[in-house]
Structure 1
Amino acid sequence: MDNTNQKKAIINNEIALFLRGLIIGKVLTLIVIGGLLWWLLKPNLLSRDSVNSSSNQSFNAGSNNVSAFQTVADVPTGSFNYGGSTAWASIRQLVDSQIQSVRPELQLRYVDPVNGSPGSSSGIRMLLDGQLDFGQSSRPLTDEEQAMAKERGFSLEQRQVGMDGIAVVVNPSLNVSGLTVDQLQKIYLGQITNWNQVGGPNLPITPLSQQQKDADTVIFPSNSDLKDQALGSNVQYVYSTTEAVRQLSKTPGGIYYASARSVVPQCSVKALPLGQTSGQLISPYREPMVSPEQCPRQRNQLNIQAIKNRSYPIIANLSVIIKQNKGREQQIGDVYAKLLLTDQGQKAIEQAGFVGVR
């Protein structure tokens, strides 16, 4: 019996030694194979690391070429007054705050007009009167404004930094497919007074507008004979776009025009397609249109592409108005425009909902 147990123990030990040797052999084999593979693949791995390193160096070198707020030279130190177009509100909130964060030596102070409503016209008037150091406009300078500047011993430069569309908005219940630019102008001149004259219901038209002396945007080109004509007697004047949108929501026959960036996303009004002809109407919003019932869960977005390629019929150029007087006003106006025209500035303008020019 003892001999039998001894034999079993010997056999078990031999089996254990065999298995241990087998495992050690496999491990050694794997180590040898792994080392061989590493040796064979080493040149490729080194080459790939070299390529990645070169790519990172190229990217960093390219990044250094991107113009940013920090790269603009001769930024003046101090506080400066500016103002003008209400269409620029999102730029003042988003872009200008970024500028002052990066360039804390520059402090920008927005100033409202004492008399009249804020807008491009009132901002240019305040710049002429010495109340602002530079202005923001969403319409071109007029000959009269340039003449006033000349009388005061300087000139005005308009330097474009972005683009916006001018959208026409109505009450959401109004069933009209769109308007031509000519029809829009005739509505505001009092020559078209009922919606049935442009394919809509039998409903009197109630045009809303800012006072022309305070206008933020224009629908009559500066080179047009219509620019000096008085608006129709049925036009009702409002202080701001906010007031106009509020009135439109309660006025079935109302109509108003303003910065597309400001009014296209609004829930209580509907933007109309515009065109040079009735067969070429282009929406200021991206199709398909978001209905009032879907808003504010979803909002209409600006038709950036139509504004960028200028197929949309009424474009507003966003320009910094610079006083050319060889003084600090000219310096800050020039620097502010340069900041907005950097890559960083153009990206921020697009984040604010407008179209860049670079």
Structure 2
Amino acid sequence: MPREDNYRFEVPAHFPDPTYTFRNNEVTEDGFKLGRALFFDPSLSRDGSVSCSSCHVQTHAFADTWLHPFSFGVEDREGKRNAPPLFNLAFHREFFWDGGVTHLDFAPILAFESEVEMDLSFEEVVGRIRRNSEYPDRFKKAFGIEEVTGPFVLHALSQFMVMMVSADSKYDRYVKGDKQAMNSQELHGLTLFRRHCEGCHQEPLFTDLSYRNNGVQRVIIDLGRETVTEVPQDRARFKVPSLRNIEVTSPYMHNARFETLRQVLDHYTDGVSDQVNIDPSVFVDGKPVISLAADEKEAIIAFLKTLTDHGFISNPLFFNSND
């Protein structure tokens, strides 16, 4: 059974300070469990067929699988981007591939109201929760409110999501002092990673939270960050994803272009070509910046697999539960 202190948010010692506004929404056991129930509830979609968990699967670090390379929703409708994993969200400033949401509390609204996902107005989401036989009492217990309102629905979901902290991989144990946690190939991969990859994928979150065009679109059909900012310099730029749990979050890139980590590395060494706003860290002076031999790619892949947090992807705290 989870202990009471399992429902308190704790910052890993080697992590930066969180950006989430806990002063407005401190995690409690009742709030967390309520958010978990909402996360797994398909009745909050128009036809009752999908929930948040439909596209965010715990065994895949709350990402989707190759069964659904793009986000999907009611009536088997399909989106245009890969559903990103969910973890360490308390440390992010912006959300989604294009950063279109600037606070975690508001992120679920886009999924609820997207016609290719849950296709239900947020007003009706709140209405269905109010009419549910169990939810009003649970909201009263969690937040002390007499009537369910939108902000508290979002607070409950955030309490569940901010607790998705992934910080106990082999890599984490190594940096915290267990020098036997990684073998020689993995350590060689770490050295190569820091030389070639850390400019964008900075430790310990393994993202610098920036937006970049890494040339993954052969022809630019998704404007990415430009859709949000309306700045031409942001065309085809997407948020740099975290590489934590990358072993279990295939397919890769916003357009689900690659199935394997080897394909990703092959792209950076041989597949990038010049295009508008191409990031200089991957392509400059008419050629790719990164050069890796086959054995170096294997070493980097071995290191990337040390970022898998097996305790996180199997933690019963995040299982669908009726309590």
Q: Could you say which TM-score interval applies, normalised by the shorter chain?
A: under 0.3
| Higher share of residues assigned strand | 1
- TM-score (normalizing by structure 1): 0.22
Q: Which one has the largest radius of gyration?
A: 1
